[in-house]
């Protein structure tokens, strides 16, 4: 399978359409969205493309503003997607016990003094978050965690030596006995250099490509 994994469209319909066109030109066979999509027009494009999706904080706070057709679709999204070799999530692969749906997350946040950052922290803000993410990967027996939310592309590698290091370049070949945390960047509001960003992952060859449009 050749996946195009994207996140944080934030309603930028034209950018999303351009990314999907680019992904198809690169041979993508499955689209995965990691949340914070935006309104009906962007959801329509993803649904037509047959995208798999997890929800982000935007969906938790804004699903009621969607049209009925897309509201029902989004309410069926889960917070985490587990494929054969990877996990995919909006922010981090953990949350309070007992939560599993958008309704659960929304109800949890309705309690006084709870913040959406308690459910959707920025993975790169605290080194402990990164180590916890790697522990979740080991527990799930997966190699790669793909995440959004930070609006930045980045690949971190952890290997048998116990060293965690950030990889440079636009392509990564996945190695045996290593784990990877991959920020896919943002389609709509990138906070690093350049334009709309996403990732191609080829599960057959184990190759991760960081893609970015002008």
| Confidence at residue 100, expressed as pLDDT on a 0 to 100 scale | 96
* pLDDT tens profile 153-205: 999 999 998 999 999 999 999 999 999 999 999 999 999 988 999 999 999 99
Which of the four pLDDT bands, split at 50, 70 and 90, describes residue 22? very high
The values of phi and psi at residue 102, to 5°, are -60, -40
* pLDDT tens profile 107-132: 999 998 899 999 999 999 999 999 99
| Confidence at residue 112, expressed as pLDDT on a 0 to 100 scale | 81
Task: Give pTM, 2 decimals.
Answer: 0.97
Token pair, residue 55, equals: 């929800």
> Would you tell me how many other CB atoms lie within 10 Å of the CB of residue 33?
31
Which of the four pLDDT bands, split at 50, 70 and 90, describes residue 95? very high
| Confidence at residue 194, expressed as pLDDT on a 0 to 100 scale | 84
Is the Cβ–Cβ distance between 121 and 92 less than 8 Å? yes
pLDDT at residue 106 is higher than 90: yes
Domains of the chain: 2-212 (3.60.21.10)
């Amino acid at each position: 399978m050749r996946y195009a994994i994207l996140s944080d469209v934030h309603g930028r319909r034209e950018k999303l359409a351009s990314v999907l066109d680019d992904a198809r030109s690169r041979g993508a066979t499955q689209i995965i969205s990691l949340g914070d999509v935006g309104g009906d027009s962007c959801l329509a494009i993803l649904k037509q493309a047959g995208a798999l999706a997890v929800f982000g904080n935007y969906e938790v706070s804004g699903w009621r503003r969607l049209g009925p057709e897309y509201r029902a679709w989004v309410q069926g999204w889960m917070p985490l997607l587990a494929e054969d070799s990877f996990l995919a999530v909006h922010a981090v692969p953990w949350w309070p016990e007992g939560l599993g749906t958008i309704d659960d997350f929304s109800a949890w946040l309705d309690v006084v003094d709870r913040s959406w950052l308690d459910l959707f922290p920025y993975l790169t803000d605290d080194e402990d978050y990164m180590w916890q993410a790697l522990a979740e990967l080991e527990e799930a027996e997966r190699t790669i965690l793909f995440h959004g939310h930070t609006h930045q592309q980045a690949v971190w590698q952890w290997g048998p030596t116990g060293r965690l290091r950030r990889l440079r370049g636009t392509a990564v070949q996945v190695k045996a006995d290593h784990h990877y945390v991959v920020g896919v960047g943002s389609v709509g509001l990138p906070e690093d250099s350049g334009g709309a960003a996403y990732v191609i992952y080829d599960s057959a060859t184990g190759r991760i490509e960081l893609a970015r449009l002008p």
